[in-house]
Every structure is written in C-alpha cells, then in structure tokens.
Structure 1
C-alpha cells in the first residue's frame, strides 16, 4: 500500500456535552471555556487538511467528559479539576464510572483513528491543539509549541523549517511528554515508527477565520518541508 503523507488528529475539537452525560455541574461559560476544549484547533486542523490534502479525525465531545489524549488509567482522563475550575460531575468517580466514560468516548475515538490509519497508511501523524494565553493567572510567552515524545525526527525538521520569531516557537512548550500530553503519538504513531509531532497554538492567535488563515499559511508549508526532510532521513 502506498503511504499517504499524513493524518491530522484534533482530540479536543469540541465543547459539546451530549444530554446523556449531563453538564457535570458546570455553568455554560465554563463549558465553553478553554478548559472544556481547544478553541480554534479544529478550524486550524481543517485549514491544514485542505492545504496539505490530508484527512483528519476530530473529537466530538468535551474533553471534560473524557480527554481522548489520555489513556483510561490516567487520572486526568476525567479530571476532577481543570486549572482553577472544579468539575463536580467528575469528582469521586469510581472505577466503573471511569470505565463507562472510556467505553463511551475514548475507545470509539481510538477505533476511528485506527480505522483512518488503516485506510490512509500515513507516513506521519500530526495532532493539533490550542492553549490559553493566561494559565493560573500567568501569561505565556510561547505562541506555537512543537511537541514530541521519544521520536524527535519530525519535530526537529519542523523547528528547522519554521522562521524565527514572531511568532515565538518553542520545543515541548507549554507542555511536554512529562505532562502526559503525547498519548496519541505514543499509541498511534510510535509503535509503527511513523513520523509524528504535536502542535500547540496559543488560542488568541487562531480566534477567527483570518487569524486561522495566517497561522495556517505559516504552518502548512513548514509542515510540508519538514515532512520531506524527515522522510528523507527516515528512508536512509
């Protein structure tokens, strides 16, 4: 089978709370805030998919119900607190309730990712996220994070392909593998030695269509160049 160039994954694409899950005891403003999803991430993923001719898989419920970038055994897969917000509906969940969430959300999402991989046979997997400019009251200087786990090939090539600041681009910021954020890469890319990287974009930089287009126009050619460069290295 001929490999496709890449598969895009956006785990935190939605802030939806389907009726069967309730609202976790949260006010609407919290359910629409950055703790519930990654604002702008799906729009950016779609832009990159169009620009690079790549298919995408996107989550369709809030990460507060289940964070699809976490394995079922991770405590923050169903967080009792996210940043400064308590999540009442996740407090004191027993093992059976956590399993029910994973069965309802995580395992179906993972099955869709695995099906897409089987169909596309991508050379690379790229996950797209956004992050808040202010975290626990402190401003963040980083604007685009290029994250990786043990396999640095695509991250190295992408960092080399991106121009200098602005925007400020940093490796493994504002999170890194020590924070458990590379689960999707570890599960779906590393076992098959697929090139992989996780992108974190500050959400004020992708707040509307025009800003998504600006960041997308920066990232798309850089990703294309990085895929070519890392792919050459992988083939040697």
Structure 2
C-alpha cells in the first residue's frame, strides 16, 4: 500500500476533480482518498506505519474510483489531505470531525485544538471539498443533466478486534432508488458477501457527503464500502472497479430512479 507522501510530492490543491465534464449520470466522490499530511502538521505525533493504516485514509478506494470514473465517463471528486487532519465526510459538529482518537489510536496532534486551528482545517480541506461537489452538481442540474451521487470508501477487515465478513457493503437511508438495484446485482455474484448498511449505517454519521449534496437535492445516491484487503493491490482494484462499472452500466434510468424532491428523513439503522 502507498505510504504517506512527503510534502515535496504533494499537490498544491486540497481537492482534485477528474473529468469534470463527464457524460455519465454518476458523480463519484472519494472522501478519504489520501493519507497526505501537509508539512505544517508534521506527523500529528504518529508513526509512518500509523499513517499507512486505514485510520489515515481508505486504502485502495481511490484506484477503484478512478478506474470506475474512466470506464463510465463519470466525474470524480477526491480529497487530497488525510482524514486525520479533518474528515470531510463528517458534519461540522461531529466529535470526530478532527479525530482525537481513530479506532484505538490516539492522535496527539489533534488534541486541544483552538477554535482558530479548527477553523483553519475546515477552510483548508473540508470547505473546498464540499464547495467543489456543490458546484459540480449545481452546474449539471442547471443544464438538465441527470445526476446520481456515489461515494467510494474502503473498510478494515478487523475493527476493534471484531472481524468483518462482508466483501462489500452498500450504505443507504430510506431512499433506496440507487441502493436497491445495486444490492440486488451484488447479491447475484457468486462468493460475494454483501453488507446492507454494514459495516456502517447512516445512523453512524458516516453518510454526511450524500446527505449534504444528494438528499437535499432529491438525487439518487449510495455509499460503497469495499473491504480493503480485497483492493490492496492492482488485481483486486481492477476486479471490483470492473464489477461495479458493469453493474452501473446496466442500470436503467428507472431502476436507479429519476431526480425527484425528497426531504431528508431519519437515518435508518443497520439492516443486517
């Protein structure tokens, strides 16, 4: 897996957009794409090994999302700074927006932040990420372009000593227009264990990007979580990207749902 990148190799941008004019109805996000720490944060008191673990990013998720975007001619929006600096898939009032602890690992550099330090992190990464997504979606809708938002993540096989048996999980709330056909297609794959609102559900406050940008606009959306040992190398990344691309390519507009007005309801609990 990729190690934390030195500052000399960092992009000057904190958010990257690939294929902004994509013709696909799908817009992809990769909310935890990078484990990069800007120089001003040092290592946040962590080791190089810690910074290569899932606590710093979603290993394997970005190569999958990039391959999907290319195959589907979809737009991809990715973060360029580690979730340890600030988690772009959390609301601003979330206790783990700037996590003092991730899983069981204390993050010394995130302890006792001042309000100004916290605000600076929001301005550095969180705000540009969400402003970029909003701008892309609003531009598409203003041109009458059908839009479905999909976020691509990965999860660790063992979390707090508990094994996670799912190869892939689909996270959704009560709007199942996109999630339902996606789940059905995945469950038809031999040897694949599919989690429905596993290993997380919206009740765990992990659905923020989709709530902020899709649900409030009445757009179909879903969150994909792939177990990261499945996509640790090129072979697995290609396998899952190609499987998901095939499923998305086969979805008819009526299956994935046309845009319509929805209010944001209460988050569903785990379905499995």
In structure 2, relative to structure 1, the CA distance for the partners of 1:166 and 1:229 (3 Å cut) is farther
Unaligned runs of 5+ in 2: 1-22, 261-272
Q: How far, CA to CA, are the matches of 1:35 and 1:226 in structure 2?
A: 33
Q: Deviations over 1:125-156 (max 9, x none)?
A: 00000001111122110110000123221111
1:158 to 182, 185, 189: 182
**Equivalent residue for 2:239?**
214
CA contact (8 A) 1:146 1:199 kept: yes
CA contact (8 A) 1:24 1:88 kept: yes
Normalised to the residue count of structure 2, the TM-score between the two structures is 0.81
Unaligned runs of 5+ in 1: none
CA contact (8 A) 1:7 1:54 kept: yes
CA contact (8 A) 1:130 1:201 kept: yes
Q: Which has the higher helix share?
A: 1
The count of residues paired between Structure 1 and Structure 2 equals 234
Q: How far, CA to CA, are the matches of 1:16 and 1:172 in structure 2?
A: 29
**Equivalent residue for 1:173?**
198
Q: Deviations over 1:32-85 (max 9, x none)?
A: 111000000000001111121101000001000000001211110100000110
Q: Say which SS state the counterpart of residue 25 (structure 2) adopts.
A: strand
**Equivalent residue for 2:65?**
45
Q: Deviations over 1:151-193 (max 9, x none)?
A: 2211111112222442211211100011101000000001111
CA contact (8 A) 1:72 1:99 kept: no
1:90 to 85, 98, 110: 110
- 164-173 vs 30-39, which moves further: 164-173
**Equivalent residue for 2:121?**
101
CA contact (8 A) 1:11 1:69 kept: yes
- Within 5 Å, give how 1:58-73 maps onto structure 2: 58-73=78-93
1:142 maps onto 2:162 in alignment: no
In structure 2, relative to structure 1, the CA distance for the partners of 1:189 and 1:227 (3 Å cut) is farther
